[in-house]
Each structure stands twice: as C-alpha cells, then as structure tokens.
Structure 1
C-alpha cells in the first residue's frame, strides 16, 4: 500500500516503512530483552520523515524517541505521539518550562543552566532530564566529576526536576580500532561510580556500539543509522548482525529528450560537448533538492540502464546522456533499485566523498516523501 501524497513534479523519495519495521525489529531481537531503545529521529528522521518514521518504529517495539532540538520534539508531540522523547542537544534554560509542560526530556550538562531552568518550570510540572557526560567526543557534556556530583545534588534536591537518565556518546564505535572506544567507556563507568544512585536510563551505545560492542549497552541504546538500513561505517559493514534493507530511495522521470549533434553543448558553462550524435534527457531535480553539483558524472538508472549525468547540475534540473531515445515519462532511479541495477546511499556518498548519513539528510523537504507499507502500522 502506498500512502497517497499529492505533488506536481515528477521527483519523489520513496520511504519503505516495511523495511524500516523489519530493520528495527531485527535490532530489537538482537539486543537483550531488557534494553530500552530510543530511536534517533532527529533531522526529520535523517530525511525519511519524522512522524511516519516515529509511528513505525514505535509499532516495532522501540521505547522512546531521540531528537536534536526542542522544536523537533514539539513537532512529534503535536502529532499526538506520547512516547518518551529525549532532546540530545542543548536547549535554552528559558525554554525548560515548555519542555516540562509537554513531558519532553532535556539534556543537561551545566550547573548554571539547572539553576536558571528551575525558575521557569511551572508549578505542578517537573522537567525530565538526562545528564550528558563528555568522555571524549568534545562537544557538549560534563567533563569533571565534581560538576557531575553537584548536578546530581541539584537535581535530587529540587521538586522541579525528574532525573531520568545519564549518557555519553562514542566518537569511534564504528571503527575496528577499539582503543579510544574503550577509553571513553572506562571514563563513563568512572562517572557512574561517582554517583550514589543511578537514574532509570543509562545509555552510551549508538548503532555501532549497540550492534558490535555489548559491553556498552547498560540498559538503554540509541539506534539511528542502522534502523534506516544503512551502516555506521564501511569498516564495520560486514560485522552488523542483521540483514539490512535501505529504507530511502529517490526517483524522478524524464521530462524532455533531444538529440544533440556532435559539437553541441550542454549546461551552464557549456563545458560538456557531445562527441557524436547523442540523446540527452532532462530530469526535474537539482542542487536545490540536495542533488548537488559534485554528482556530475554519477550514473543513475533509466529504463533499467546505467546512464551518466552530463553537464553541470542546475538548481532544478539535471541532464543525462542516454544510450538511445527514451520516451518522456521514463522513470529514473537515482537512489534505489530498478530492474537489475541498484544505486545505494553508500554509492552516492562515495561519489561525494562523504558519509551515508549526509546523503539522506541533504535531500531537501522540497522533494515529497511517498510512504510505502503493507499495513504493518
């Protein structure tokens, strides 16, 4: 079944909710039964669509959701989703009351922030918080045990807070060399030992750590990239203990075809020249959609054949060199499977010399998302 989406341009991303459900279900089965899973749905669920993704993974058995900012959490609450939500990034102390009213957990790591936030949490409400420990990532988090102890005391003494969790984030869990990972894990365990009591949620493991390092599971894991059918890194691609299926694919259609004579030019700068008589197709996608100019030369799939992008990619349009004339309306797959060919998200990332996370996040909201499912959610 395909969720009906109305749009007026022949470019769209397909989100396979069955694949998403299968991926998270397999991860759920791999982890110990008492492990709480917080599914990372920040950045519009890595470009997949936050509400549909959230509903699917909750149906598949995850405990809660993790986002980057309070705005993202509020969007989820506005959709009627009542599951636990943790904001992983920094939030202004002045906005703590908003989070408390909507039962959204915030990340804390500064003593002064806690003192300021306490003043704005309304009577009758309490703000749920998770303490972030910086064990070597170098972003946000408590770095000194004395600060951790003081935050512990402030949270336990105030009726404006509910201390829900404590966590850290690994910098190298997706690498085969485990030295730095072990250093961070040891530091986090030291922080835990500094506390007289522990909160309900203790979490350190992201996708890579949860699937490849059982020693950092504690009682909660944050799963992101793996549930979308993608691997945290090429290094551990063959180590993941479940069969992944990519959730995201990207498609368009040919809107124009013309035959160029040898010597004729294509695109801005006129820097592509037909070396012989060539069929050139135009597709309605460009860098404003996240299909950026560095993808020139990348091969996409048209009518089951691999065809190269030629000329400079435009803001809204891209040109392809066809092996033969193809009719207007021919479907072109930029990411995903068509007949016997498959362009993975990793293939695009390799062409752009970046990581798969960036690819799905980069495809802008101007590209409509079409959700495919078989009634599982």
Structure 2
C-alpha cells in the first residue's frame, strides 16, 4: 500500500519517547540483561527502519518475525544482531547467512531440512525455541532439543541461545505463568549444554516478573509506551506513548433533524447537527467497529457517527469549525487524551492490534 503524504492524515512517532522508555527499563531491570528491541510488524506500526536506526545505540540486538523484516533492517544499515523469532523457509537460510541474521530453530524436523541443503552452515547462529505452554512453535521434549544440539554441532552451527514465551505474563492470575516457568527451568536443567543466551521474558514478564529475567529482555509493546496488560495490571513506572494519530476536517456541514448518515443509514440525527468529515477509514486501520466511539476536536470529545467508510468517516461537532481543524484519534488535545488502549477497549481487543492495524497509507512523521 502506497503512503499518502499529500493527505490530511499522519501518525507522529516520538523517537525520544521510545529511547526514554528503554532507559527506564534499563534502570528498572539493572545491568544484567541485554535489551533487544522487538521491531516486528513494522515496529508495532511505528516504522521498523526509523525506530531501529534511532535506538541502535540503546539496545544490544533486535527481534523480528520473519526473514524479510530482518533483511529490511540490514538493507538500511542496521548492524546489531537480529533474531528472527519464528522458523523461516529452510531454502532461504542462505540469505540469513549472507546478512548475518540469527535464526530460530522451532523443531528437529526444521533443522533437518536446513542441513539437508548443500551449503556451508558454519557461520550460522541459532536460538532454539521451547514450547513451555504457549503452543505455537518450539520443542516440547528435552530429548528433541538435545538431538537438535547434536545436529548443530555436527554441522558447525553456533548454538547461541534458547528461549521460551509466556502466554499469561500480562494477567493477574499467575498459575499458568508459574507452570510455564517451572517447565522451562526443568527443561534447562536437563539440557545437554546451555548456550550463551537463555531468555524467556517479553515486556510483560519484565514488568511483573523481574525474577524471571535472564540474559536477554525482549522489549516489545512497552518500548512504545503502552501497558501490555491494557488496564488489568498497573505499571511499576510511567511510560511515554510514542505514537499519536491525527487528521483534519475536510468537510463541515449542518444536517437537519431526521437525516441519516453513512452506509446502511445506521445513524439518524435527532436535531440540527454540525457534521464534520475526515480523511480516515478502515483502509487506514480505523475499523468499522469505531462507530459510536469518539475523537478530539478543540480539546472536546466528538462522537463518530455513521459507519466508518474505507477512506472517510463523519464526526458530530458541537459547532462549525474551519476546514483544516486538527482531529486527534490517538493522542492528547489540551487536557483530553485518547490512548491506543482506549481504542482497544472499545473494539474489544488489545492495544497491540490497534497500532499494528494502522496501515502504510498513513504517513509516519518522526520527532527526533
């Protein structure tokens, strides 16, 4: 999708806020763990290249979801270690080798496909994934992990790390978390040998389970200033949200009582009403579920009326405003504020999804 720099809608990303959040985590966790910034999914919608370039001196490495995300960083001169957190297509391992990208081994079957290729793997670095209860990828039995280690040694591949991922670290009930923790600990104790890096903590684990932090802290959503639990658990320290989403009024009109608005005629005015139109819709990631929520205009909450269209939506104004008046969807206007978590609560989802759905059509503007 092509970015639209000549449109009225922009996402401003405060790179200083992201750096400040990293510094707060370093102070909170102490000097032991390395901080690896998670910049998958275009840095949670913030822009992977710009964010990675800005914070490269603040972190020891980066985590991404797939090979193309890793290659994007290398193509833009990011030189710190990059770990892909899922298995890649085995036939593309040569690209990872060429660009010094660290891979995840999700299973013995996967590594067998890799070593079956006729290429020199002696410079390849890998981390083995352990499924302690998340259920996505990773080995479940230590015998499989030890067989993987044997295979790595036989082909000269560097066994650099081993990790797991917690499913409920951001929830108040700790029963599942403790079960996964015990499984991973027992797994490590039975491992033939341990690698340089043992890591299991995502952002939520680091915030509320600091005793679990090991060699690497994989810092994700809170690097961008948001609470991974939404509003379930209080943060131990204040974070700075990095992204604000704004647009402008492109059309203002007065509509008489009894008029319907939008597709499906789902909204009807009960009195003479000022209606504003803005250039933002579900193709930008502002889903149809946002009808009935609000935006900020002149520091006031204004309801979204009618169904959100692909490219535009309408809001109910308290008065006539000039074209070009700023409309805030995420961020602060005066003393009023709308957070990505507020949006997520309305949609019945999480703040991660809200940010990741902001499409590439919305231009990112970076505040240094």
The question of 1:322 aligning with 2:317 is answered yes
Q: CA deviation at 1:306?
A: 1.0
Contact kept? 1:13, 1:368, Cα under 8 Å: yes
Query: Which residue number in structure 2 is paired with residue 64 of structure 1?
Result: 61
| Residue of structure 2 in register with 1:193 after alignment | 189
Distance 1:137 1:66 in 2: 18
Mark the CA change 1:337 to 1:121 in structure 2 (over 3 Å): closer, same or farther: farther
Q: Could you say which residue in structure 2 is the equivalent of 1:48?
A: 46
CA distance in structure 1 between the aligned counterparts of 2:118 and 2:212, rounded to whole angstroms: 33
| CA-atom RMSD in angstroms | 1.5
Query: CA 1:151/1:158 → structure 2, altered by over 3 Å: closer, same or farther?
Result: same
Structure 1 residue 270, shift from structure 2 partner:
2.1
Give, in whole Å, the separation in 2 of the partners of 1:313 and 1:235.
26
> Where does residue 103 of structure 2 map in the other structure?
106
Aligned partners of 1:163, 1:335: CA distance in 2, in Å?
43
When structure 1 is superposed on structure 2, of 9-18 and 190-199 the one drifting more is: 190-199
Contact 2:172 2:233 in 1 (8 A): no
Superimposed CA distance per residue, residues 256-296 of structure 1 (whole angstroms, 9 cap, x where no aligned partner): 10111112221112232221111111000001101011100
The answer to whether residue 336 in structure 2 is matched with residue 341 in structure 1 is yes
2:214 matched to which residue of 1? Answer: 218
Q: CA deviation at 1:162?
A: 1.1
Cα 1:188–1:282 change in 2 (3 A) is same
- Aligned residue pair count: 366
Corresponding residue of 2:33:
35
Q: Secondary structure at the match of 1:254?
A: strand
The partner residue of 1:359 within 319, 337, 354 is: 354
Alpha-carbon distance in 2 for matches of 1:212, 1:277:
51
Q: Is the 8 A contact 2:56 2:78 kept in 1?
A: no
TM-score scaled by structure 1? 0.94
SS in 1 for 2:200: strand
Q: Which residue of 1 aligns with 2:265?
A: 270
Distance verdict in 2 for CA 1:6–1:353, change over 3 Å: closer
Unaligned runs of 5+ in 2: none
* Shift in alpha-carbon separation, 1:124–1:112, aligned structure 2, 3 A: closer
Q: Does 1:117 align with 2:83?
A: no
| Shift of residue 172, structure 1, vs aligned partner | 0.8
Shift of 1:195: 2.1
**Who is 1:22 aligned against?**
20
Mapped partners of 1:271, 1:98: distance in 2: 51
> Which of 228, 231, 236 in structure 1 is aligned with 2:227?
231
1:94-134 Cα deviation digits (max 9, x unpaired): 11111111110111032232222124474385211000000
Distance 1:124 1:356 in 2: 40
What TM-score comes out, normalization by structure 2 length? 0.96
Q: Which residues in structure 2 correspond to 1:95-174 (within 5 Å)?
A: 95-120=92-117, 122-123=119-120, 126-159=123-156, 161-174=157-170
Secondary structure of the structure 2 residue equivalent to 1:312? coil
Structure 1 residue 309 corresponds to structure 2 residue 268: no
**2:341·2:351 contact (CA, 8 Å) conserved in 1?**
yes
SS of structure 2 residue aligned to 1:371: strand
Which of 204, 208, 224 is 2:200 aligned to?
204
| Equivalent position of 1:177 in the other structure | 173
Q: Flag structure 1 segments of 5+ consecutive residues without an equivalent.
A: none
Q: Is the 8 A contact 1:39 1:64 kept in 2?
A: yes
